[in-house]
Structure 1
Amino acid sequence: MSYLWHIIIYLNCLRLLLFNNHIVTDDELRLPLSNRAFQYNDGFFETIIIRQGRLRFWEAHEQRMQEAARALQLQLPPLFFSSELTERLLELATQQHALAHGRLKLKVWRAGAGLYTPETNNVDWLAAAQPTEAIYNLPLQVGVCRQTHTLYSPLSHFKGPNAPVYVQAGLEKKAHGKDDMLLLDRQSTVSEFTAANVFWIQGDALCTPPLETGCINGVLRRSILRWCLQQQVKVEECSATVEQLGRANVVFAANVTGIRAVGRLEESELPTQHPLLDRLQSSLLG
């Protein structure tokens, strides 16, 4: 094989990243040991789905990033409030062959060094994109976390600061061989899944836990609640036990990747079909 072909293969294998609005390869990226994301988890992230050249639910992602920045007292750059950011993210997705079906992760953290007291409220940011395949949509087999609980705080509604909670829940999921695990708060009230919000249909109402249980204020959660308001579908943010969840008409997980019904909750078989679930699928994800 010629030297030129070695170079072409090498370049094709390089992963391109967008770091502070500059394209770099993964082997060019250098972050200092004082990086505050590494030292203190001082930031947040968004996972964005790309479908047919569009950033799905982008306005909801923008809203949550602004909420996260306010809670962490971070100063987002002007780029984050312009169409240039979406253009740059889609350029990255194109270069990574992720424009038709892709996943993009946008990480934002406080710049500078310092100990617990920051030197600045300015941020650094990094975006990475990769192609994805069609979502696997069989009903979920779910267990209940017994060692890990959610805890409400001003930081619990967005992604990043509480990541160790979901890591520990992921270890329980792996140990029990489940598709997902249901997280409860300290009062044993249903809160969320490890990577998705939980919804259930009870009678004529769509139910979901309130943010006070410590759950993430998910992008699809926001979109579902907004859609229900527009369609005059009754919605209740309510507390529920695992036993009450098991008596629902249908239970499903919802995040930016899609909606999946729960077919089994611990030892209980659950219904997986409901007209409202079909409407949500077709209206928000079709």
Structure 2
Amino acid sequence: MLNFNGTLVSDTERLLSVNNRGFKFGDALFETMKIANGKVIFWEDHYFRLMASMRMLRMKIPMDFTLENLEKEILKTIPPETTNTTCRGRLSVFRKDGGLYTPATNEVDFLIEISELKVEKKEAYRIDLFKDFYNYSGLLSTLKTNNKMLSTVASVYAEENDLDNCVLLNERKGVVEVTNGNIFVIKGNTIKTPALTEGCLKGVLRKKIIEIIESNDLFTIEETVISPFEIQKADEVFITNAIVGIQAVTNYRKKTFVTDVSDKLSKSLRILEITGKA
């Protein structure tokens, strides 16, 4: 089921023109959300990230783009047969058709897609570096835009090399993220994740995991510069995104990791999703 500007339509209906700016210029933002029991998980965080991103890209925010109205639009798009199941939702916002690099207008359209979600975390999860191209640091890299060519090429590379994911590096050869989420590295009682100034996505789950760690007296969290060498020397590594939650990494090159802390954080995350409290 699709929702285009508030109207429910079939997923077989033609909606976008050849002049769609998301298609032609990548002039679009999106939020990928998990929906469970009629609730958009961490909706406020998704909403405020979207609003901040729209302002940064100089998109005109419609008056009815309120927290409550957009949530209603998402929930009304859920197909009746999936009401009691976990779903994946994607809310895309793109400037209206027209113009070349300079848009004809800064007004926007939105599209909501809902599908049933079946997440299976892998017991064995292998990663390695992707070094063909860099994820350049800067504020634009922290936004969830339609420009995902680097993640696409890195994902193809991972598939060709029997990997489950790839670590992306910035122009300074520091660790940024993986193709579909943020990365955390554990050594002793310190958990590190790349700082936003490294160019990583300002992930909703990244924010939530940092909150969970900060509430735990056993660990300290550092948002900092991470070298690929630190992955090799880590005790544990895990990645996060809004759909999977926490995926523990078991192998990096010849290194094998345990998953003890990752498993404990996953339990805390499930409690946070249900109660809203870390």
Say if 2:67 is the partner of 1:85: no
Provide the C-alpha distance between the structure 1 equivalents of 2:59 and 2:167, rounded to a whole number of angstroms.
Answer: 31
CA positional deviation for 1:98: 5.3
2:200 alignment partner in structure 1: 215
87-96 vs 58-67, which moves further: 87-96
Task: Report if the CA contact (8 A) 1:245-1:251 is conserved.
Answer: yes
Provide the C-alpha distance between the structure 2 equivalents of 1:161 and 1:28, rounded to a whole number of angstroms.
Answer: 22
1:273 alignment partner in structure 2: 260
**3-state DSSP class of the match of 1:103?**
strand
2:109 alignment partner in structure 1: 124
Amino acid at match of 1:263: T
Structure 2 residue aligned with 1:97, among 71, 82, 97?
Answer: 82
Structure 1 residue aligned with 2:229, among 218, 243, 246?
Answer: 243
Say if 2:201 is the partner of 1:204: no
Say if 2:60 is the partner of 1:63: no
CA positional deviation for 1:74: 0.7
Structure 2 unpaired stretches of 5+: 272-278
CA positional deviation for 1:96: 5.8
Provide the C-alpha distance between the structure 2 equivalents of 1:246 and 1:216, rounded to a whole number of angstroms.
Answer: 23
Amino acid at match of 2:260: Q
Q: Deviations over 1:239-286 (max 9, x none)?
A: 222221121121101111210111101222222222xx3342122224
CA positional deviation for 1:203: 2.1
119-128 vs 227-236, which moves further: 227-236
129-138 vs 143-152, which moves further: 129-138
- Moved segments of 4+, more than 4 Å: none
**3-state DSSP class of the match of 1:68?**
helix
Q: Percent identity of the aligned residues?
A: 30
Task: Report if the CA contact (8 A) 2:127-2:163 is conserved.
Answer: yes
Structure 2 residue aligned with 1:252, among 238, 247, 252?
Answer: 238
Task: Report if the CA contact (8 A) 1:99-1:131 is conserved.
Answer: no
Task: Report if the CA contact (8 A) 2:47-2:67 is conserved.
Answer: no
TM-aligned CA distance change 1:94 to 1:26, over 3 Å? closer
Amino acid at match of 1:235: I
Provide the C-alpha distance between the structure 2 equivalents of 1:81 and 1:241, rounded to a whole number of angstroms.
Answer: 40
TM-score (ref. length: structure 1): 0.88
Say if 2:174 is the partner of 1:189: yes
Task: Report if the CA contact (8 A) 1:96-1:131 is conserved.
Answer: no
**3-state DSSP class of the match of 1:246?**
helix
Provide the C-alpha distance between the structure 2 equivalents of 1:250 and 1:27, rounded to a whole number of angstroms.
Answer: 44
1:8 alignment partner in structure 2: none
Higher Cα Rg, which structure: 1
Amino acid at match of 2:252: L
26-35 vs 110-119, which moves further: 26-35
Structure 2 residue aligned with 1:138, among 119, 123, 126?
Answer: 123
CA positional deviation for 1:161: 4.5
CA positional deviation for 1:136: 2.2
CA positional deviation for 1:230: 3.7
CA positional deviation for 1:124: 0.5
